[in-house]
Amino acid sequence: MPECRVQRRSPPRAGIAVGFVAVAVAWWAGGVCAGASFPPSETLLPATTRVWVSAADPQGLKERFERSALGGLLHDPLMSTFLDDLRTRNKPSADPLRGSLEITAGEVEKVAAGEIALGVVERPDGLLATLLLVDTSGRAAATAAIVEAVRARIVAKGGTPLTSQAPVEAFAVPAAAGAGEGPPRQVAIGVTPGVLLVGDRLDAVAELAATIAAPPGTGGGRAAALASLPAFTAVAARCGRDVPAAAPTVRWFVDPLAYLAADRRTFPPKKPRKGPDFIAILRRQGFDAVTGAGGCVFFGEGAVDLRHNTLIHAPRPPARQADGPDHLQKAARMLRFPNAAGMAPATWLPGSSASWLALEWDIATAFAAMPPLVDEIVGEQGVFEDVIASLEEDPDGPQIDVRDGLVKHLGTRCMVASDHVTPVDADCERMLVAIETSDPAAVAAVLKKGLTSEGEVREGVVGGHVIWETVRPAAGRPAAAAGAADDADDAGQRRRARQRDRRESDDTVWPNLSVAVAHGHVLLASHRDFLERVLLDDDASEIVEDGDYRAVADELHRLLGGDWSLNSFSRSAREIRPAYELLRAGRLAESKGLAGTLLRRIVEGADERDGSPRGPADVRQKVDGSSLPEFDRIAQYFGVNGVSMQSTPDGWYLVGVGLWNGPSPPAAK
């Protein structure tokens, strides 16, 4: 057999797009037959499956989706011009399967008659293989036509047959023009009665075809299957416990660290980069206590437009009796999120905020667990403690005691709120972080000393509260000052100078950071105007008084009773509007918010893992958003959402809901 190594494709197809592709296929698939032609995919795929997404009832899922807010938005004629243009101009983003496995979502729709599953499997050589498994019961003619179309497409790209055994055929496909030099990639297709398999490695497709064809054992499938993993079993049991029996779901599972390690081996960066092995560091620092994550998603159940259940599996030993994962070791101890009562929005938060989130976090333990992680990332023992010491001892520094003066007085409740101002532009989004404190006066004194020691911070008073506002920092310290410290004979001076350089080397995340201590919290805002809204309390209402918030909170309490470690609420229209308006204006690449980043990756397939820095010259948009309608014309499709989380003996269990009371969507074409 001619050798054909897996092509080193661009990372988006291996990582971010996997979940998007599988869910998109599930949404648009159609037709379900009475009997499945193979056992559930989780019993067929091996235990080395790192990512798995499945829709057992794609037709039912499609029907529910089309009645949902998102389905209504995508079917609205106002969106048709933009979506058609997206499919035409940007095919890899609009239909990622086409670029990876040479089959389109539309072709899968024509042949699917039962379960659709997509798995990313780690092979014995440590590389990943992507597998698409489709139940085609009763659709032999349509399947044959689609396979012929895929075969013709491959040949047109210069694909050549590889030696294989029926029912699998495989091709070596040369790299696309402009994709750079590299070995050809494989596309393998297996067709048996009622089954279509497509994958990017011949050996993986052949093995799966043989597993399906083998006489079923007492349990069906294979012994060492994905379904045999304790993490998978725990996720399936917990997340499926309270799902309505009639609800068609998308189910998913990922083994995060194993997947990331295999992804790096399979799709190394185009440009070799020096730096630490973050995956190995996470394992050494105890984060491998997380053995898997997964859950289910479904649409249109009662008053809930969308719901998702998720379990992050990090089980504690049976002998431990504390609530939640208490066995976390080393730096992973920073993942302690205790359950607590009263997880409601603070009354002083602006009532019109786009989103709000509260988290119970053991900050003291997290701070104590941080040194070894920071040291490993930097690659120098004692770096963290040196920085802390320099903050206290350096004559040219703030001279503050971080542990006893600040961290000691912080509580466990953290809150984050977001919003935006008008006019909408790249700098219109706002964020506020609030951290509970047991001694506001002591914390304020430390902050005053630390912040005012910097020349780029100015002090003011708003609503009777002192605020410190960061002015954009200068380019750097004068060279003479650095040289004087470097030439000093005193080892302590050299160490303090080195740590001062470290503190000042990176630009701040929020160049307009504004800080205050009020309402029993340390308040950190991305912009002064948002902090002023909190301090002046000039909003006419509170979030807790909002009927939409109450509806979301009631639904979450019904689904997830008891105390929580996380609670959130968001208004989708206010969250998405800045990114949407920038997309319309051709300026999405300028967006600094999370929504903008996600939208850019969805519509453009953008990925920044190649190590290339982004600057003004990179601020350009690939997709034409000028055909999008004015936001007010589609705002009806955006509802309200909430997520709550409990720390449990099995890890962290999250339930999310989306409520929508919009009109019935237009009929699908």
Q: What is the pLDDT at residue 222?
A: 82
Two tokens, residue 618: 């990179």
pLDDT at 27 over 70: no
Quick count: other Cβ atoms within 10 Å of Cβ 625? 20
CA–CA distance, 383 with 366 (Å, rounded to integer): 17
Cα dihedral across residues 403, 404, 406, 407: positive or negative: positive
Q: Which residue has better confidence, 39 or 623? A: 39
162 Cβ contact list (under 8 Å, min separation 6) = 1, 2, 4, 170, 171, 172, 186, 202
For residue 243, which phi and psi values (nearest 5 degrees)? -85, 130
Nearest to 667 by CA among 75, 132, 207: 75
- The predicted-structure confidence for 255-282, as pLDDT tens digits, reads as follows 999 999 999 999 888 777 778 899 999 9
pLDDT digits (tens, 9 = 90+) for 338-351: 999 989 999 999 99
Question: For residue 90, what pLDDT band results from cuts at 50, 70 and 90?
Answer: low
pLDDT above 60 for 93: no
Residue type, position 388, single letter = I
Number of Cβ atoms within 10 Å of the Cβ of 383: 18
The tally of CA atoms less than 13 A away on the side-chain side of residue 555 is: 26
What tokens does 497 get? 């100078």
State the burial class of residue 630 (Cβ atoms within 10 Å of its Cβ: 0-12, 13-18, 19+).
exposed
User: What ranges make up the beta strands (E) of 537-634?
Assistant: 566-571
Range 584-598 average pLDDT: 87
Question: How high is the pLDDT of residue 8?
Answer: 39
Beta strands in 471-579 (DSSP E): 514-518, 521-525, 566-571
Q: Please give the Cα distance from 158 to 172 (Å, whole number).
A: 8
Eight-state DSSP code of residue 329: -
Q: Which H or E run contains 123? A: none
The model's pLDDT over 511-526, given as tens digits with 9 standing for 90+, comes to 789 999 999 999 999 9
Phi-psi category of residue 605: left, alpha or beta, with phi > 0 → left and psi -120 to 50 → alpha: left
Q: How many CB atoms lie within 10 A of CB 333?
A: 20
Cα–chain center distance at 273: 23
pLDDT tens for 554-579 read: 999 999 999 999 999 999 999 999 99
- Residue 37's alpha-carbon distances to 27, 199, 387, 468, in angstroms, are 21, 19, 62, 66
pLDDT digits (tens, 9 = 90+) for 626-635: 999 999 999 9
The helix or strand, by DSSP H or E, that contains position 62, with its residue range, turns out to be: helix 58-66
Average pLDDT value for residue range 170-177: 85
Instruction: Tell me which H or E stretch contains 448.
Output: helix 440-452
Q: Are 203 and 123 in contact (CB under 8 A)?
A: yes
Mean pLDDT, to the nearest integer, of 321-338? Answer: 80
pLDDT at 325: 59
Q: How far apart are CA 339 and CA 509, in angstroms?
A: 30
Domain boundaries, the chain: 11-267, 336-546
Smallest Cα–Cα separation from 328: which of 111, 669, 560, 651?
Answer: 651
- Longest CA pairwise span in the chain (Å): 84
pLDDT in tens, 433-468: 999 999 999 999 999 998 887 668 899 999 999 999
Q: Is the bond preceding 423 in cis, omega lying within 30 degrees of 0?
A: yes
Beta strands in 508-617, from DSSP E residues, in sequence order: 514-518, 521-525, 566-571
Q: Summarize the confidence of residues 633-647 as an average pLDDT.
A: 96
Contact by Cβ (8 Å): 250, 58: no
Q: What is the pLDDT of residues 487-543, one digit of tens each?
A: 445 665 655 555 555 545 444 568 789 999 999 999 999 999 999 999 997 656 789
Rg for the chain, CA atoms, rounded: 27
Q: Is residue 545 within 8 Å of residue 319, measured between CB atoms?
A: no
390 token code pair: 């320099």
Mean pLDDT score, 611-619: 43
Is the Cβ–Cβ distance between 283 and 257 less than 8 Å? yes
The tens digit of pLDDT for each residue in 56-89 reads 999 899 999 999 999 999 999 999 999 888 877 6
